[in-house]
Amino acid sequence: MRPQAHVASGLLVWSASPQRAWELPADLVAANLPDFDRSVAKRLGVEGRAHHTWVTHSFLGWAPPTALALALARRMRDPGPVHRAVALVWVHLLLDTYHHGIAWLWPLSKERVGLFRGPPGIRDDGWNTPAPLSTEAGKVEAAFWALSGLGVLLRRR
């Protein structure tokens, strides 16, 4: 999915749960966390790594940090922000599975597992990737933005 869809998912989860306004930026970062691999891999000099086929888009990449975060959350007075952050990382992975497919079994396999592939004419270029309403990604993204907007409006009342 496009970063815009991940931002919308972060806003949706934040608006639908008991939280404070200052937690929104943390939720938005968590919703996009797996995609930070683009800049991290580049800085590490990793070459030949296709997006969605690396540790940051795999079960093994997120299972240990998830277990650690949930263990730490059990010791917190208010574990809500940690629970939301963990949920948003996994929502990100599910959204990417829906749209592009991801390498769930990395490093055992770099084969993408997904429900459908985006149209061949649309190349994943982050914020610049189009998501017309005629595509599945565009429909899902529009639905997230509509629900996010509704969540924010209802939260303000």
Q: Look at residue 92 in the predicted model and tell me its pLDDT.
A: 94
Q: How many CA atoms lie within 13 A of 27 on its CB side?
A: 24
List beta partners, residue 102: 113
pLDDT digits (tens, 9 = 90+) for 12-29: 888 887 778 888 999 999
Give the pTM.
0.82
- Residue 113: φ, ψ to 5°: -110, 120
Q: Look at residue 71 in the predicted model and tell me its pLDDT.
A: 98
Q: Give the Cα-Cα-Cα angle 24, 51, 93 (nearest 5 degrees).
A: 45
Q: At what angle do helices 136-155 and 3-15 cross, to 10 degrees?
A: 30
Extract the tokens encoding 63: 């299972």
* DSSP H stretches of helix in the chain: 3-15, 24-32, 37-44, 59-74, 80-99, 136-155
Domain ranges of the chain: 3-155
Regions of the chain with pLDDT less than 50: 157
